[in-house]
Amino acid sequence: MQAASSIAQSKIAAAIGLKAAVRLLDKWNASGEQGEAILRVSHSTYARARRGDIGEIKLDSDQLTRISYLLNIHAALRMLFENPDNLYGFVSMANHNPYFNGRTPLEVMSSGDFAALYETFKRIDSLRGGQW
pLDDT, tens only, 58-85: 899 999 999 999 999 999 999 999 999 9
DSSP-derived letter for residue 1 is: -
User: In the chain, what are the domain boundaries?
Assistant: 1-128
- For residues 96 and 50, the answer to whether their CB atoms sit within 8 Å is no
Nearest to 105 by CA among 115, 95, 118, 113: 95
DSSP assignments along 56-104, one per residue: T----HHHHHHHHHHHHHHHHHHHH--SHHHHHHGGGS---STTTTT--
Per-residue burial over 49-86, b = 16 or more CB atoms within 10 Å of its CB, e = otherwise: bbeeebeebebeeebbebbebbeebbebbeeeeeeeee
* Distance, CA of 122 to CA of 60 (rounded, Å): 22
Give the confidence band of 15 by pLDDT, cuts at 50, 70, 90: confident
Q: What local confidence, expressed as pLDDT, does residue 54 receive?
A: 76
Task: Pick 11 or 44 by higher pLDDT.
Answer: 44
